[in-house]
Amino acid sequence: MKTFYFDTINMIKRLAIILTIFHLNIAFAMDGMPSIPNPLQIMNDSVADIVDPPNTAALNIMVSALSSLKELRKADKATPENIKSLIKIKLMPSIAMEISTELALKEHWSKLSNKQKQLFQQYITQSLMKDYAGILGSYEKLDTVSISVDPKVKRKDNKAIVTLFVSLNDDPKPIKITLKMIRSNQWRVYDVVFSGVSLVKNYAAQFNSHIRRKGIDSLVAKTIKKLN
């Protein structure tokens, strides 16, 4: 037994040295190599849909957010500040904010400078944070959460529309949420339809109403004022 023990130790040491040398050689070899692209970017659509289908991505986004909210409620720590932090961590990385902002401004988008585009993106981001915080904050009781996906997913190129049904606390009438998604290196949401209302269309209506009455420059000034 003792001989086996020391032989094993020596073998492990030799293996560790070999692996270290191998790792260093690989590191030096890769140092001059270009970075490897995201696998989903080099896959064709049919393969990418198997690896990363939009309905699974939509389900993961919703499950992650509501599960975290449930844990906050259970720990009695679902303060407005913590809910906002949850949204920043769980929801915002999954939202294609640049697409949402461009769609909300449509024909006016090309007239804006890069700085103004970033301004509106920041405004919509903060507004969404407030809206989502209000929606999630209204779910005071989360004993049970059940989320199902409509198998009929609408697809066109790299875009998809996925409908989710969320049941809370055994409520017989589930909440219907439609996510409009786009894929680049991953599926992200660019619009949410909740209670029949599209968030992007809602912002577009607000912006267009102001532009018709007072012009685009006035809207920019108003947005700056709101952000400040």
pLDDT digits (tens, 9 = 90+) for 76-116: 898 889 988 998 998 899 999 999 999 999 999 999 999 99
**Cα 49 from chain centroid (whole Å):** 18
Measured distance CA(15)–CA(104) in Å, rounded:
59
User: Under a CB-based contact definition with an 8 Å cutoff, are residues 163 and 149 in contact?
Assistant: yes
pLDDT at 128: 85
User: Under a CB-based contact definition with an 8 Å cutoff, are residues 190 and 201 in contact?
Assistant: no
pLDDT at 12: 34
pLDDT at 24: 33
Q: pTM for the complete prediction?
A: 0.73
Question: 């209302």: which residue's tokens?
Answer: 197
Question: 């961590």: which residue's tokens?
Answer: 89
Torsion of Cα atoms, 90 then 92 then 96 then 100, to 10°: 130
pLDDT at 14: 40
Structure tokens at 219: 């809207």
pLDDT at 146: 85
User: Under a CB-based contact definition with an 8 Å cutoff, are residues 177 and 62 in contact?
Assistant: yes
Q: Which of 185, 174, 186, 198 is nearest to 58 (CA)?
A: 186
* Domains contained in the chain, CATH given: 42-227 (3.10.450.710)
Measured distance CA(54)–CA(40) in Å, rounded:
13
User: Under a CB-based contact definition with an 8 Å cutoff, are residues 59 and 164 in contact?
Assistant: yes
pLDDT at 43: 55
pLDDT at 49: 65
pLDDT at 202: 92
pLDDT values of the chain reduced to their tens digit, one per residue, 228 residues: 333 333 433 433 343 333 333 333 333 333 333 333 444 454 566 666 666 789 999 999 988 888 888 889 889 898 889 988 998 998 899 999 999 999 999 999 999 999 999 999 999 999 888 888 877 777 777 777 788 999 999 998 889 999 999 887 777 788 899 999 999 888 999 999 988 889 999 999 999 999 999 999 999 999 999 998
